[in-house]
Amino acid sequence: YDVYINQKKYRFMLDTGSSLTVLDNKIADKVSKRITEKEYYLPVTQLVSSNKNSTNDILFYHSPTMFFGQEQIYTSKIIALDLSHLKETIGEQIDGILGIDVFNQFIWEVDNSNGKLNIYKDKKIKGNYKNVINYREDDYPYFKLYKKNKSKDQNKEWITLHFALDTGAATSSLDPIIKNYMIVNNYNNKNLGRNSVDFMNKIESSNLVFIEDLEFGDEPPIKRMNFTYNKINKNLLGLDFLKRFDRFIFYPFQQKFYYNEMSFNPDPEPLRMIGVR
């Protein structure tokens, strides 16, 4: 997304898995002043480890005045990191990362079928949506997905999986403990292939698992969806999950997710996975 600072346009990425908004360290010195006291706390640790930095590499800055078009973005402080690796990974210059602190200030409407994003501030849902589901908010937006056991053990018929939405991850992944539990208890999974690392380095290069018939809201079960391990012991939904919806809205003011049709085409089985750096 385009974000304006001092009337100059910068390119930002939205990452619901980031607790704070980030600026590239080369830009931060030009648009803001450094906060001298050390303010390190747990949510930052994940971002630091994913970028292979130490806490000494984190620099806090006063938030500059930032805008989406005419709408101001409000943040108390930002952190500065070297974001050059993002350009290497996605092939586009990224000047900053909008974290969950910004996500919760706006309504986000995504039209995947037309490749459009609308950002609202006025708390009005525009357009007609057939379905709505509540999500909860901790450090991330959390959804519930349900999985039915295919075995005859009625005491383990259903499992409820809590997934954090992480738009900084291209693919979805499982806590290794949950993944192993589902395999042992015959929740209709299939292991094959290998998966490469996502751009924030949260995903392990490990066995890929396909899970059949996950249930989301009142929709028919999601046909085969692939997952891998992650390093942070959470179940994560990446962008591959959101791409299944034709249109959807995140409404953080009421913690609601509006959506229309969902694609139930199964994820394809890979012929061969080749990791490229």
State percent of the chain over pLDDT 90. Answer: 31
Q: What pLDDT, on the 0 to 100 scale, is given for residue 154?
A: 54
Query: Which of left, alpha, beta for 104 (phi over 0: left; psi -120 to 50: alpha)?
Result: alpha
pTM of the model: 0.80
Residues of the chain with pLDDT under 50: 40-43, 45-53, 193-201, 205
Q: Which residues contact 168 (CB under 8 A, 6 or more apart)?
A: 13, 15, 16, 17, 18, 97, 198, 199, 200, 202
What is the pLDDT, as a whole number, of residue 127? 72
Quick one: pLDDT at residue 186?
60
Q: How does 215-242 read in b/e, with b if 16+ C-beta sit within 10 Å?
A: bbeeeeebebbbbbbbeeebbbbbeebb
pLDDT for 231 equals: 77
- Side-chain-side CA neighbours of residue 60 (13 Å): 13
Domains defined for the chain, CATH in brackets: 2-105 (2.40.70), 124-259 (2.40.70.10)
pLDDT at 98: 94
Q: Cα(103)–Cα(14) distance, rounded to whole angstroms?
A: 8
